[in-house]
Amino acid sequence: MKRITLNIFLITLSLLLPSARWKPAYAGQELLDAAVPAVINVSAGETFTFPVKITIPEKSYIYANPKGPGIGKATALEFKLPAGIRSVKIDYPAGEKYTPAGFDDHVIIWKKNALINVTIYVQPDLKPGRYPLPLNINMLQCSDVCIPFDRDYIITLNVSTLSGAAISTGSAINGGPQTGPDKSAITELPDEFSQLTPVCIDKKITGIIQAILLGIIAGFILNLMPCVLPVVSLKVMALIEHRDSGDLRSQRNHGLLFSAGIISSFLILASLAAFSGYKWGGLFQQTSFVAGMAVFVFAMALSLFGVFTINVPGFAGRAASGRGRGYSDSFIKGVLATLLATPCSGPFLGGVLAWAFIQPAFVIFLIFASVGAGMAMPYILIAVVPALARFVPRPGTWMNTFEVIMGFLLVFTSVYLISLLGHDYAVSTLMLMVFVSMGLWQYGKFGNITASPLSRRVSSALLVLLIIAGLSVSFIFIAPGEIEPEKTGFSIEQLMANRDSGKITVLNFTADWCPNCKLVEKTALKTRRVKAVLADKNVRFMTADITRKNPAAEELMSRLGSNSIPFLAVFPAGQGFVKPVCLRDIYSAGDVAAAVETAKLNNR
């Protein structure tokens, strides 16, 4: 029992203090070591693989990655990559199941040795020279007790313009003597992919004026997307509340601030796209973002159910009434509407973004601003043209029922977001929701404006403490250290094999956080017409899942000139391979059939 308690204590402490550099010594327990290449010779434009070998002493083990459902900490390799170099894949080997004495859940462990292959890509325009590649290895060595291992290494990359990558053995900082075979470079995307000239079946963008106009239309349509509808409905409800107030200035300010929240968010997304390589919907690849959005939307639902009300400083709860109140509430709702819109791609949006992403930074900002302006247009018009308010229904007791209906819509939105997280993080997020619900309930009861100042202060402090406690319990003690990557049927090797064997490849780029992807899959890809097309022995269907980071798939999608999903590419076989037929945004079964027929013609 003492050994179990000590293991749990050390594991928990290592999770809470991941940056600590411990080197404890236990009598009779030999410490493990990691062998990392000291110098790697590589050419610009190449993808290369090198090994990291972990030697594990007898009677010891370390946790694999993923580590399984039991208590522990997955072994992790973390790089700080310099500009011009990016990680393609870290290939953790399979482990074996092990259930420690006294525990119910099993873990996945490595014994003796673990060989981890790391694949790195050097961009073609990287200047020749020596580049440091910092690496941190973090793991737990367990036997009778668990000892944290947290060590930094520096790998030197010698980048040249010559072909052929080689790994030199030697010493890396803190790494000791290094061993390992040379690895020749492997290429995730072969040379043929640099010659791709996709033929996309959508409206061509011929200039910046056309792109701006289509961006405005695409932004306007985003208001009708299922992702955005709940928040837009809240804004409509606020307009109804202010309809007969007679305070035109307040009405105008609320509408303009909601619009400012939308446009500001699009400008932030534009900066991420221009300077950080952000792709439309990329935020939903981040587990913490999706979990945070799920909790925030659920809190909004509780507000509509009357659990609590916060009008100042404008938490995105119930729409405030009265002149000058709830202004920040309107701005936050505009931001939230934009964030919820990012997994959606309506008509025109895919083509506009694909054109914008290959333009200079100022054009990217201009196009994103036009999409934001289109989305904000209805609220700007209502704000500056008071006569349009007569088309808004009159307020009444029916609004109480409407509020509750909107609350349930937000609950459905929150459930949808949770479904994107996978089992382990979904449970953690639900646990956090319980703590947040308790905090907001007590705040609504004891921290409302009718309570005494002391009661409000104590209630506010308790709300903060419950949120902190929820975060600690949910994402430190319950959530796993790593998420197992989503499996996908896509691979560059299979794509090339289809080409060489005379097979047409229908490649579907999709993600769990993309509702429009699910729509086209159901209405187009899963129809009898498309199934009959795919039943052809010379046609192969593949799925590139980018729910989580999928560098090879995302790189291919960029080569095809697209930065948003839904996206479908049909690759002909043989020489026609370099002219794939592309479908963006919402497409039909007829579009898919036509694209395959075009690819068959290109085979000849």
Residue 507 is predicted with a pLDDT of 92
Residue 317 is predicted with a pLDDT of 40
Q: Which fold has domain 2-187?
A: Immunoglobulin-like (2.60.40)
Residue among 376, 352, 344 nearest 266 (CA): 376
Determine contact, residues 493/546, Cβ cutoff 8 Å. Answer: no
Q: How many residues does the chain have?
A: 604
- Does the pTM of the predicted model rise above 0.85? no
The distance of Cα 96 from the centroid of its chain, to the nearest Å, equals: 30
Residue 231 is predicted with a pLDDT of 63
Determine contact, residues 483/286, Cβ cutoff 8 Å. Answer: no
Helix (H) or strand (E) holding 552: helix 551-559
Residue 325 is predicted with a pLDDT of 47
Tokens of 485: 């990557």
Question: Which residues have a Cβ under 8 Å from the Cβ of 575 and sit 6 or more positions away?
Answer: none
Residue among 36, 33, 34 nearest 167 (CA): 36
Q: Which fold has domain 492-603?
A: Glutaredoxin (3.40.30)
Question: Which residues have a Cβ under 8 Å from the Cβ of 188 and sit 6 or more positions away?
Answer: 47, 88, 119, 121, 492, 551, 552, 555
- For the chain, the structural domain boundaries read 2-187, 208-293+318-395, 492-603
Residue among 288, 287, 268 nearest 278 (CA): 268
Residue 206 CB-density burial (10 A; 0-12 exposed, 13-18 middle, 19+ buried): exposed
Shared fold status for 2-187 and 492-603: no
Mean pLDDT by 10 residues, the chain (604 residues): 48 43 44 81 81 86 85 85 78 84 80 85 81 86 78 84 47 38 44 64 71 86 70 64 62 80 85 69 69 83 77 39 56 76 68 73 85 85 73 67 80 81 76 88 82 85 88 68 47 84 89 81 85 86 84 83 85 87 87 89 70
Residue among 522, 531, 506, 519 nearest 598 (CA): 506
Q: How many Å apart are CA 512 and CA 496, to the nearest integer?
A: 26
